[in-house]
């Protein structure tokens, strides 16, 4: 029997049998990230577009999606796929027009869905007119909208950047500007100069651009790199931790800096709250729960939600120089990481998110599942669905996850990798002259590269997978297996990954007290094969002070048969009171299947099941 120490309920919750009237809508919503370049191309130019998204809204609605998060669609030179914005109020022409965004918003709203945009305001593109003005002279009024610093010089007179910091894309964070003879700061590529949030006029301009879209009906923002606006203004060198490199990781110099909560609080008050806009921030390099809570505590009035990356970064060699050196990890590490980020909000007024894919990571079925054979692929993709759908927090899906899209095939050449980060890390390895490093980086990229999630969406078995017209040239190569893995093939097939997602997304809402809002308790943390946990509701089945509603989720994370756990013992009830709610093998029906599916039966390869102590 498991010890159920009662947990403190969060102040925002109304207690007693599922009356969550005061809770914000976005807690129960299912979000879905659309990567617009690769979702659906309406005009045969090989590049996805807004009309393409519009044409598939019914598909998303039918899947059970409530909110679409659209990755950046703004005017941009596309050096970092639109995360380098040159005009926040214009749409990149290949995506469409501002009016197309209006139509998409109305079409979402007409279906009871919402749309959030991607707000990239840690930096702009170097093509943004703000930066063009800023770099034009030291006395330009916008000079201070970016971060300019004089050079340092070595004893021998060599010009050196102001600090030794390494940026994200394998270079210094500083680029020399010949015209005004100063360096500017960029945490990412040189074409992505960091805005200076210390400057109030700069912040005003950002808020005005946010309001532009909220006035047009956008429902909120996913906020890029949200914890990097406040830098430590001492601009000191970072300690040398990567001795082979001139550039050193320095996140402590520019992540969660001294004024970050002030800036975010102001942004919320000025440009989110007046619109009732929802916000979900990208919170990297923040591995302590005590650091995350101040961002997501309701009373702190900062962000509604954040993405915390400990889980999705498993297997990488850290955020900086060794990122693409793959480190296999045991299941117990995955379990402990999930457990930590599931339970950190318990007893607080904070909230969390659930996700295992996005546009910056490899595909979940290839990283956490097993994509080596069609059977293992299907079984593990469904188990991943069940895992995600039963976790606490707001659920975010990434396009293609719902049909089990896989990583790019391992035998594709490095030329198929289009991402600036992949290219820079690979070239850095080649430049080092270290052949092992090149091999390891190449291998790591085949698992972890951002490119895997960016290949065209697989709609059907026609040439180009239905992403773009036959005969058109998609901007990235279509997966070799698109004839086997696509929406058309799975739609209506009850055993498919897609139909399984639809079912579990419904169940998640039907039992939201347990799945979306329940507490999380890991069972048997050391078990390297089975991932089992109990979700517990604040509700009882109508009896005041009665036993809480509980669900036991049991997931076989191996291809071998595994013994099932002691279901009744763990749920704390008599075997006769256990109900089988759903599973990846039965196809997900509940009730009657409970009897057939004896709890003693071993779990087959990658099988997942959910048992509950209520009917």
What residues act catalytically?
224, 282
* Shortest CB 460 distance to Ca ion, Å: 18
C-alpha 294/C-alpha 176 separation (Å) is 36
User: Which residues in 262-301 contact ligand GLC (CB under 6 A)?
Assistant: 282
Name which of 417 and 467 has its Cβ closer to Ca ion.
467
**260 φ, ψ to 5°?**
-60, -40
Give which of ligand GLC, Ca ion, none residue 272 binds (C-beta under 5 to 8 Å, depending on kind): none
Name which of 191 and 522 has its Cβ closer to ligand GLC.
191
Name which of 83 and 295 has its Cβ closer to ligand GLC.
83
Give which of Ca ion, ligand GLC, none residue 83 binds (C-beta under 5 to 8 Å, depending on kind): ligand GLC
Cβ-closest residue to ligand GLC?
83
Name which of 383 and 399 has its Cβ closer to ligand GLC.
399
Name which of 79 and 100 has its Cβ closer to ligand GLC.
79
Token pair recorded at residue 206: 């950002």
* Shortest CB 43 distance to Ca ion, Å: 5
Determine which residue in the list 23, 28, 45, 346 makes contact with Ca ion, applying CB under 5 A: 45
DSSP category for residue 126 = T
Strand 608-612 versus strand 579-583 pairing type: antiparallel
C-alpha distances out from residue 347 to 6, 293, 518, Å: 10, 12, 12
C-alpha 533/C-alpha 121 separation (Å) is 38
Give which of ligand GLC, Ca ion, none residue 41 binds (C-beta under 5 to 8 Å, depending on kind): Ca ion
* Three-class SS state of 153: strand
C-alpha 466/C-alpha 527 separation (Å) is 42
Name which of 358 and 613 has its Cβ closer to ligand GLC.
358
The closest alpha carbon to 18, from 488, 549, 380, 508, belongs to: 549
Q: Does 520 bind ligand GLC (CB under 6 A)?
A: no
Determine which residue in the list 17, 43, 171, 558 makes contact with Ca ion, applying CB under 5 A: 43
Name which of 287 and 495 has its Cβ closer to ligand GLC.
287
CA angle 532, 536, 537 (to 5 degrees): 150
* Three-class SS state of 46: coil
Site string for ligand GLC, 348-377 (x = CB under 6 A): -----------xx-----------------
Q: 524 exposed, middle or buried (CB, 10 Å; 0-12, 13-18, 19+)?
A: middle
Name which of 321 and 583 has its Cβ closer to ligand GLC.
321
Residue pair 75/90 in contact (Cβ under 8 Å)? The answer is yes
* Shortest CB 540 distance to Ca ion, Å: 53
Ordered alpha helix ranges (H), 533-579: 567-571
For ligand GLC, how many residues bind (rule: CB under 6 A)? Answer: 9
C-alpha 615/C-alpha 612 separation (Å) is 7
Sign of the four-CA dihedral 348, 351, 354, 358: negative
* Shortest CB 38 distance to ligand GLC, Å: 13
Q: Does 49 bind Ca ion (CB under 5 A)?
A: yes
Give which of ligand GLC, Ca ion, none residue 47 binds (C-beta under 5 to 8 Å, depending on kind): Ca ion
Q: Does 92 bind Ca ion (CB under 5 A)?
A: no
Q: Does 371 bind Ca ion (CB under 5 A)?
A: no
Q: Does 224 bind ligand GLC (CB under 6 A)?
A: yes
Residue 438: HSE in the Cβ half-sphere, 13 Å Cα cutoff: 8
* Three-class SS state of 133: helix
* Shortest CB 466 distance to Ca ion, Å: 14
Residue 20: HSE in the Cβ half-sphere, 13 Å Cα cutoff: 21
Name which of 222 and 512 has its Cβ closer to ligand GLC.
222
Q: Does 308 bind ligand GLC (CB under 6 A)?
A: no
Name which of 49 and 451 has its Cβ closer to Ca ion.
49
Determine which residue in the list 33, 78, 225, 388 makes contact with ligand GLC, applying CB under 6 A: 225
Name which of 223 and 405 has its Cβ closer to ligand GLC.
223
Please report where in the chains the tokens 């009730």 appear, as a residue: 591
Residue pair 37/48 in contact (Cβ under 8 Å)? The answer is yes
Q: Which positions ≥6 away from 493 have C-beta within 8 Å?
A: 499
Token pair recorded at residue 592: 């009657």
How many helices (H) does the chain have, and how many strands (E)?
19, 20
C-alpha 561/C-alpha 149 separation (Å) is 61
Q: Does 118 bind Ca ion (CB under 5 A)?
A: no
Give which of ligand GLC, Ca ion, none residue 370 binds (C-beta under 5 to 8 Å, depending on kind): none
Q: Which positions ≥6 away from 134 have C-beta within 8 Å?
A: 140, 142, 143, 144, 145, 146, 148, 193
Give which of Ca ion, ligand GLC, none residue 188 binds (C-beta under 5 to 8 Å, depending on kind): ligand GLC
Determine which residue in the list 47, 131, 188, 324 makes contact with Ca ion, applying CB under 5 A: 47
3-state helix, strand, coil in the chain (%, to 5): 35, 15, 50
User: Which residues in 178-197 contact ligand GLC (CB under 6 A)?
Assistant: 188
Q: Does 41 bind Ca ion (CB under 5 A)?
A: yes
Q: Does 100 bind Ca ion (CB under 5 A)?
A: no
Q: Does 316 bind ligand GLC (CB under 6 A)?
A: no
Q: Which positions ≥6 away from 147 have C-beta within 8 Å?
A: 184, 185, 193, 194, 196, 231
Q: Does 402 bind ligand GLC (CB under 6 A)?
A: no
Give which of Ca ion, ligand GLC, none residue 45 binds (C-beta under 5 to 8 Å, depending on kind): Ca ion
C-alpha 360/C-alpha 222 separation (Å) is 14
Residue pair 468/474 in contact (Cβ under 8 Å)? The answer is yes
Q: Does 183 bind Ca ion (CB under 5 A)?
A: no
* Shortest CB 188 distance to ligand GLC, Å: 5
* Shortest CB 422 distance to ligand GLC, Å: 11
Give which of Ca ion, ligand GLC, none residue 128 binds (C-beta under 5 to 8 Å, depending on kind): none
Q: Does 55 bind Ca ion (CB under 5 A)?
A: no
* Shortest CB 77 distance to Ca ion, Å: 18
Q: Does 199 bind Ca ion (CB under 5 A)?
A: no
Q: Does 35 bind Ca ion (CB under 5 A)?
A: no
Residue pair 223/279 in contact (Cβ under 8 Å)? The answer is yes
Token pair recorded at residue 522: 């890991």
Q: Does 120 bind ligand GLC (CB under 6 A)?
A: yes
What's CA 422's distance to the chain center, in Å? 18
Token pair recorded at residue 485: 């893995």
Name the site residues for ligand GLC (rule: CB under 6 A).
Answer: 80, 83, 120, 188, 224-225, 282, 359-360
Name the site residues for Ca ion (rule: CB under 5 A).
Answer: 41, 43, 45, 47, 49
């Amino acid at each position: 029997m498991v010890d159920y120490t009662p947990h403190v309920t969060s102040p925002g919750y109304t207690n007693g049998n599922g009356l969550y009237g005061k809770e914000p809508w976005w807690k129960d919503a299912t979000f879905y990230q659309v990567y617009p370049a690769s979702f659906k191309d309406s005009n045969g130019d090989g590049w996805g577009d807004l009309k393409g998204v519009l044409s598939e809204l019914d598909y998303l609605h039918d899947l059970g999606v409530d909110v679409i998060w659209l990755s950046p669609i703004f005017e941009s030179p596309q050096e970092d796929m639109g995360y380098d914005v040159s005009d926040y109020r214009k749409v990149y022409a290949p995506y469409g027009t501002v009016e197309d965004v209006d139509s998409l918003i109305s079409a979402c709203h007409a279906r009871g869905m919402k749309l959030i945009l991607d707000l990239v305001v840690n930096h702009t593109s170097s093509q943004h007119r703000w930066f063009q003005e800023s770099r034009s002279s030291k006395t330009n009024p916008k000079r201070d909208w970016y971060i300019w610093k004089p050079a340092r010089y070595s004893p021998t007179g060599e010009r050196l950047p102001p600090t030794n910091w390494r940026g994200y894309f394998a270079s210094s964070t500083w680029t020399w500007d010949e015209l005004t003879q100063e360096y500017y700061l960029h945490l990412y590529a040189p074409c992505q100069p960091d805005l200076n949030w210390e400057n109030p006029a700069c912040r005003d301009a950002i808020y005005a651009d946010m309001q532009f879209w909220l006035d047009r009906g956008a429902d909120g923002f996913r906020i890029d790199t949200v914890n990097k606006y406040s830098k430590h203004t001492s601009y000191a060198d970072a300690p040398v931790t990567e001795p082979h490199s001139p550039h050193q990781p320095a996140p402590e110099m520019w992540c969660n800096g001294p004024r970050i909560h002030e800036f975010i609080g102001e942004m919320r008050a000025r440009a989110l709250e007046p619109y009732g806009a929802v916000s979900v921030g990208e919170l990297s390099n923040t591995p302590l729960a005590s650091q995350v809570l101040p961002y997501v505590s309701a009373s702190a009035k900062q962000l509604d939600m954040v993405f915390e990356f400990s889980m999705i970064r498993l297997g990488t060699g850290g955020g900086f120089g060794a990122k693409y050196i793959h480190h296999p990890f045991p299941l117990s590490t995955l379990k402990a990481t999930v457990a930590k980020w599931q339970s950190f909000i318990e007893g607080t007024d904070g909230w969390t998110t659930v996700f295992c894919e996005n546009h910056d990571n490899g595909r979940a079925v290839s990283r956490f599942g097993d994509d080596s054979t069609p059977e293992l692929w299907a079984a593990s993709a469904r188990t991943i669905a069940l895992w995600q759908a039963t976790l606490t927090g707001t659920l975010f899906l990434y396009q293609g996850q719902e049909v089990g899209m896989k990583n790019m095939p391992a035998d594709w050449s490095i030329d198929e990798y289009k991402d600036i980060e992949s290219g820079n890390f690979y070239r850095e390895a080649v430049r080092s002259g270290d052949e092992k490093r090149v091999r390891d980086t190449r291998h790591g990229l085949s698992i972890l590269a951002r490119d895997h999630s960016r290949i065209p969406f697989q709609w059907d078995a026609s040439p180009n997978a239905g992403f773009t017209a036959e005969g058109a040239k998609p901007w990235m190569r279509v997966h070799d297996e698109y004839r086997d893995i696509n929406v058309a093939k799975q739609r209506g097939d009850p055993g498919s990954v897609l139909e399984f997602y639809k079912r579990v997304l419904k169940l998640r809402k039907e039992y939201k007290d347990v799945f979306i809002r329940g507490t999380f308790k890991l069972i048997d943390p050391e078990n390297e094969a089975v991932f089992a946990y109990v979700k517990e509701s604040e509700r009882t089945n109508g009896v005041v002070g009665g036993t809480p509603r509980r669900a036991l989720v049991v997931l076989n994370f191996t291809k071998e048969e595994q013994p099932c756990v002691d279901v009744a013992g763990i749920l704390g009830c008599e075997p006769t009171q256990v109900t089988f709610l759903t599973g990846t093998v039965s196809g997900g029906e509940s009730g009657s299947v409970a009897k057939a599916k004896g709890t003693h039966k071993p779990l087959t390869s990658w099988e997942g099941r959910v048992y509950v102590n209520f009917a």
